[in-house]
Amino acid sequence: MSRINIMPDDMKRFLQVAGNEEAVDQPLYHYQSYGTSGATTFTFFNTATGSATNGLADTNMDNAGNLSAGKRFAVAAISIDLLPSAPMVFNAASTASALNDAYKVLNGVGYMNFQVLNKNYLTVAPLTAMPAGQGLFIGGASYQRTQSSGADGNGFIASGNNGIPTPAARYYLSVPVPIPAQVSFNVTVNFPTAVTISTASRLGVTLWGIQIRAKQ
């Protein structure tokens, strides 16, 4: 990510707020299931809230694949998050499965691509270059078991996420990307071959920026 910040004239016009409009600090997000068998492509922002399995917990898109009439969005930052359904646990009889899953997916051979109206605006690899900027930090507690079995021994429980959980740890764009109303856009997360994991998880993408809409 470059440290240079550029605001082209067309972007300045895009961000002008009319008297009947308002600007709100509302990100666009989409989370979906990442099954144990994985997939070669995950497409985001192609599902509306009403069609999502968990409603607003999955996405805040009004429409599938585009913003509804009267809304536009300026993308200033992008983040990617993987949420395992189980904590990392390891001891004498088990391994750190969830953390290993996160490492394979985020630090493996994968990349993201961001398009607006079939025009490519950003391609980045690996996925750890797009930190979440939120979530639980790595931490945990140790314990010791004293059972009469081969599973005796020390253990540790912990959790991890993509990057340090601070808003500064996101991929900030040097040049904002405009998404006009009713114009198709998407983010894809791609792998040459499907990355299998041990525990079903959720993979999410968030577009951070400014939404301009009619006054409500």
Residue 8: cis peptide before it, omega within 30 degrees of 0: no
Task: For residue 33, tell me if it sits in a domain.
Answer: yes
What does the block give as tokens for 11? Answer: 């972007």
Task: For residue 98, tell me if it sits in a domain.
Answer: yes
Give the model's pLDDT for residue 147: 56
Which residue range(s) make up the domain with 127? 22-214
For residue 183, which of 122, 118, 121, 120 has the smallest C-alpha distance?
Answer: 118
Q: Give tens-digit pLDDT for 46-84.
A: 999 999 999 999 999 999 999 999 999 999 999 999 988
For the chain, the domain total comes to 1
Give the model's pLDDT for residue 5: 76
What is the torsional sign of CA 53, 59, 60, 64?
Answer: negative
Q: Residues 132-147: what's their mean pLDDT?
A: 57
Are 136 and 106 spatial neighbours (Cβ–Cβ below 8 Å)? no
Task: For residue 5, tell me if it sits in a domain.
Answer: no
Task: For residue 8, tell me if it sits in a domain.
Answer: no
What is the torsional sign of CA 47, 190, 71, 83?
Answer: positive
Q: Residues 145-167: what's their mean pLDDT?
A: 55
Q: Give tens-digit pLDDT for 12-49.
A: 999 999 999 999 999 999 999 999 999 999 999 999 99
Task: For residue 44, tell me if it sits in a domain.
Answer: yes
Task: For residue 90, tell me if it sits in a domain.
Answer: yes
Task: For residue 121, tell me if it sits in a domain.
Answer: yes
Are 131 and 169 spatial neighbours (Cβ–Cβ below 8 Å)? yes
Cβ-in-10-Å burial (0-12, 13-18, 19+) of 50 comes to exposed
CB within 8 A of 187, min separation 6: which ones?
Answer: 30, 43, 44, 45, 78, 112, 113, 114, 115, 205, 207
Name the pTM for this structure: 0.84
Task: For residue 205, tell me if it sits in a domain.
Answer: yes
